[in-house]
């Protein structure tokens, strides 16, 4: 299976799971559309959330409900190691500001166009490796 752009990655991941266990979810698309927004939780009023050192090594998160206790485990059979919500923090239903993804730099756009575009199926080239925006040199 040839993988040219983000939707292809999702399709390939789904196809690798014959039992339907892997259910990939794209967070955004090549055109800059945000599917799963990110928020400035560090700036959330009331300081409701504890920091989780080494968050990338934790693979299992159990949430009781929105903004309730979250238990983190490194492996499914590991002991619970952390709760992200501070018990003493006041509850609020207001979300913090959304973090807007910056998009690709002009240099990265030029690199993809110059070096990678030829390896992408012709019908997907303008989606995966479009011509860089104004001001970027493709040389």
15-60 pLDDT, tens digit per residue, is 887 787 778 888 888 888 899 898 887 776 656 667 777 878 877 8
CB 70 within 8 A of CB 83: yes
Task: Tell me the C-alpha distance between 135 and 17, whole Å.
Answer: 43
Asked if the model's pLDDT at residue 99 lies above 70, the reply is: yes
pLDDT for 17 equals 79
Task: Tell me the C-alpha distance between 45 and 82, whole Å.
Answer: 21
77: tokens are 């059979």
Task: Tell me the C-alpha distance between 110 and 104, whole Å.
Answer: 10
Better-scored residue on pLDDT, 94 or 96: 96
pTM: 0.59
Task: Tell me the C-alpha distance between 85 and 44, whole Å.
Answer: 12
- Listed residue (50, 52, 68, 72) closest to 60, CA to CA: 72
69: tokens are 């206790």
């Amino acid at each position: 299976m040839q993988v040219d752009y983000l939707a292809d990655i999702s399709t390939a991941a789904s196809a690798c799971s014959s039992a339907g266990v892997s259910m990939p979810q794209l967070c955004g698309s090549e055109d800059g559309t945000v599917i799963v927004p990110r928020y400035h939780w560090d700036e959330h009023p009331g300081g409701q959330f504890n920091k989780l050192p080494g968050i990338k090594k934790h693979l299992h998160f159990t949430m009781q409900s929105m903004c309730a206790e979250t238990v983190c485990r490194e492996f499914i059979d590991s002991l619970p190691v952390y709760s992200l919500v501070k018990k003493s923090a006041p509850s609020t239903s207001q979300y913090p500001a959304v973090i807007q993804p910056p998009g690709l730099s002009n240099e990265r756009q030029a690199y993809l166009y110059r070096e990678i575009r030829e390896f992408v199926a012709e019908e997907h080239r303008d989606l995966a490796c479009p011509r860089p925006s104004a001001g970027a040199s493709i040389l």
